[in-house]
């Protein structure tokens, strides 16, 4: 008989389903499309991008006839599965923004802050209760070697006018008592955490109230250019639309070509049972920030409104961009994440995991939203936020509509909106490359050898991975 490890015991009664979606507040799905309909704007996919796009389109022109088709139900994709740590950056963080578009940083930062303020106002306007907490975001250094990275992050946040604070070891451990944290950078304003499914369900209600027609369990099967307009077919109906916005994220539905630049990576999360008052007193975390760390395979963590710890960040890739991997519905693939959890929270060695799941990340070389044009621009794909889209998707959807409508909005002239991320090799090279890269990143903090030149090669392809010098 083999003895079970602490992690195996913790995962014994786990539900392999997103905690956020396991909620009685989930609305009934809208009926599927079972007729042939027409509209001005068809949106494919009812995650944050699709829902925000529908709301923006209606706000801009209440007469615009908007239809959404969704292959399953609202928020079943990434939008019902994130850690949902909110960030102002619309380009996957300030470092990434500076890496990609250094000359447009000021404008991108301004747009990011404007987007977050608009996000906040929209929640009030549509009366969306989504357990929002404005505790800020905290980046923590793991080990003394990473303090320099935190300093760098602090400098760049300060430079672009964020309410950033450098925390030394004592100060960061006062915020969250983990023995492995050696410093931190706390950006206090315009960031925090949200219940992502409640947000998506609230956006769905708002869109319906604005007159958007939503059809769930109605996947796009194929599309045809009508010159002008597009005909989209679902299993039991069709939509003839003047314009189509593909908000299909890592699922890349709508055109086979999307995947040339978008890869479906899985990101994994575990959620504990609620902490007792005593456990909360030991770890601290009174300010309830959303937290990222500096590990090469980054971990992130936050509290839920009932004081569970959500802990995530162990990437995986499944052959052919599989967006529903069976392997992520059992304990084995979550054990490495548990190892990091115990290192971070040694005082919680006996805690049980109530939920575990993985979700689709639309990875591109840029890790930020871009637009692919099809059918002379009558249909565009808007996506690629990677792990950073809860609020950026509102921005991505808004600019996506400007691009689709071929307006002169200044945002559409910015490089992120007018150019494309790099190609990603097809299978089987994609799978092989992903396995090697993830293994290299997993073990880079402890070992070097071939990993350093390999990661350098991946960096040359355009991905934001930097091997240590
Ligand atoms: C584990 C994880 C952690 C994350 N953590 C954070 C975080 O802390 N902070 C943050 O900002 N971001 C985070 N993200 C990223 C964020 O969740 C996404 O960027 C965002 O939800 C993307 O929204 P979307 O609408 O573009 O995609 P999705 O929500 O994936 O929506 C795409 C929709 O298209 C539908 N679809 C697919 N095929 C078809 C078809 N043929 N016909 C019709 N519909 C179709 C899907 O069912 C899906 O509902 C995380 C993501 C994951 C997976």
Supply the pLDDT for residue 122: 98
For the record, the structure tokens of 365 come out as 């070389």
Supply the pLDDT for residue 2: 73
Centre of ligand 1 from the C-alpha of residue 83, in Å: 12
**What are the backbone angles phi and psi of residue 292, rounded to the nearest 5°?**
-120, 150
Q: pLDDT digit string (tens) for 16-37?
A: 999 999 999 999 999 999 999 9
Centre of ligand 1 from the C-alpha of residue 382, in Å: 12
Mean pLDDT within 424-438 = 93
Centre of ligand 1 from the C-alpha of residue 393, in Å: 9
Supply the pLDDT for residue 1: 60
Task: Please choose from 50, 78, 235 the residue to mutate so as to test ligand 1's pocket, defined by most ligand atoms within 8 A of CB.
Answer: 78
Burial string for 293-316 (b: 16+ CB within 10 Å, else e) reads bbbbbbbbbbbbeebbbbbbbbbb
Strand 85-86 with 290-293, pairing: unpaired
Supply the pLDDT for residue 469: 65
For the record, the structure tokens of 97 come out as 């923004």
Nearest protein Cα to ligand 1, atom 20: 389
Nearest protein Cα to ligand 1, atom 33: 45
In sign, the C-alpha dihedral spanning 95, 99, 100, 101 is positive
Supply the pLDDT for residue 307: 98
Mean pLDDT of the chain: 95
In 3D, which of 95, 125, 124 has the Cα closest to residue 108?
A: 95
Centre of ligand 1 from the C-alpha of residue 72, in Å: 13
CA 173 from centroid of its chain's CA atoms: 27
Nearest protein Cα to ligand 1, atom 5: 82
Centre of ligand 1 from the C-alpha of residue 224, in Å: 25
Mean pLDDT within 355-375 = 97
Nearest protein Cα to ligand 1, atom 42: 219
Q: What is the pTM of this model?
A: 0.97
Q: pLDDT digit string (tens) for 384-413?
A: 998 899 999 999 999 999 999 999 999 999
Only one residue has tokens 């621009």, namely 377
Residue ranges around ligand 1 (CB below 6 Å): 44-50, 69-72, 76-79, 81-85, 87, 219-220, 247-249, 251, 253, 267, 269, 312, 359-361, 383, 385, 387-390, 393
Mean pLDDT within 107-116 = 97
Distance CA 278, CA 440 (A): 39
Rama region for 266: left / alpha / beta (φ>0; ψ in -120 to 50; rest): beta
Centre of ligand 1 from the C-alpha of residue 158, in Å: 30
Q: pLDDT digit string (tens) for 185-205?
A: 999 999 999 999 999 999 999
pLDDT of 296 strictly over 80: no
pLDDT of 372 strictly over 80: yes
Task: Please choose from 77, 216, 382 the residue to mutate so as to test ligand 1's pocket, defined by most ligand atoms within 8 A of CB.
Answer: 77
Centre of ligand 1 from the C-alpha of residue 47, in Å: 6
Supply the pLDDT for residue 444: 81
Mean pLDDT within 199-213 = 98
Task: Please choose from 30, 44, 47 the residue to mutate so as to test ligand 1's pocket, defined by most ligand atoms within 8 A of CB.
Answer: 47
Q: pLDDT digit string (tens) for 50-104?
A: 999 999 999 999 999 999 999 999 999 999 999 999 999 999 999 999 999 999 9
Mean pLDDT within 139-157 = 95
In angstroms, the Cα distances linking 234 to 32, 215, 361 are 9, 10, 25
Distance CA 20, CA 302 (A): 13
For the chain, list the domains and their CATH numbers: 36-85+196-262+366-418 (3.50.50.60), 429-460 (no CATH)
Supply the pLDDT for residue 121: 98
């Amino acid at each position: 008989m083999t003895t079970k490890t602490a992690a195996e015991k913790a995962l014994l009664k786990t539900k392999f389903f997103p905690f956020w979606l396991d909620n009685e507040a989930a609305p009934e799905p809208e009926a599927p499309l079972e007729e042939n309909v027409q509209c001005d704007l068809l949106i494919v996919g009812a995650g944050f991008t699709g829902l925000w796009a529908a709301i923006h389109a209606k706000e801009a022109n209440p007469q615009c006839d908007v239809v959404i088709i969704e292959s399953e139900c609202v928020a079943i994709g990434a939008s019902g599965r994130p850690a949902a740590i909110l960030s102002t950056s619309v380009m996957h963080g300030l470092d990434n923004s500076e890496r990609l578009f250094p000359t447009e940083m000021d404008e991108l930062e301004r747009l990011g802050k404007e987007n977050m303020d608009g996000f906040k106002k929209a929640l009030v306007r549509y009366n969306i209760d989504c357990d929002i907490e404005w505790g800020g975001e905290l980046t923590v250094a793991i080990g003394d070697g990473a303090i320099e990275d935190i300093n760098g992050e602090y400098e760049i946040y300060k430079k672009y006018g964020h309410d950033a604070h450098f925390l030394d070891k004592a100060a960061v451990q006062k915020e969250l008592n983990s023995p492995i944290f050696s410093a931190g950078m706390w950006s206090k304003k315009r960031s925090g955490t949200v219940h992502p499914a409640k947000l998506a369900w609230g956006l769905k209600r708002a869109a319906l109230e604005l007159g958007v027609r939503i059809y769930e369990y109605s996947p796009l099967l194929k599309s045809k250019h009508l010159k002008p307009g597009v005909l989209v077919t679902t299993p039991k109906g069709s939509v003839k639309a003047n314009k189509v916005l593909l908000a299909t994220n890592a699922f890349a539905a709508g055109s086979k070509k999307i995947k040339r630049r978008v890869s479906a990576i899985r990101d994994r999360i575990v959620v504990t049972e609620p902490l007792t008052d005593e456990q909360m007193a030991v770890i601290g975390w009174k300010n309830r920030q959303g937290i990222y760390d500096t590990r090469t395979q980054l971990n992130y963590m936050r509290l839920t409104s009932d004081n569970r710890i959500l802990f995530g960040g162990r990437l995986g890739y499944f052959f052919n961009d599989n967006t529903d991997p069976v392997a992520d519905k059992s304990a084995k693939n979550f054990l490495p994440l548990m190892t990091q959890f115990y290192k971070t929270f040694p005082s919680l060695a006996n805690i049980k995991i109530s939920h575990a799941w993985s979700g689709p990340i639309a990875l591109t070389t840029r890790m930020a939203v871009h637009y692919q044009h099809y059918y002379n621009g009558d249909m565009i794909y808007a996506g690629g936020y990677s792990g950073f889209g809860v609020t950026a998707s509102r921005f991505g959807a808004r600019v996506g509509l400007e691009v689709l409508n071929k307006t002169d909005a200044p945002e559409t002239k910015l490089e992120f909106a007018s150019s494309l991320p790099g190609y990603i090799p097809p299978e089987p090279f994609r799978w092989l490359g992903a396995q090697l890269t993830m293994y290299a990143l997993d073990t880079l903090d402890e070992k070097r050898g071939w990993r350093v030149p390999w990661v350098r090669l991946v960096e040359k392809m355009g991905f934001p991975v930097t091997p240590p010098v």
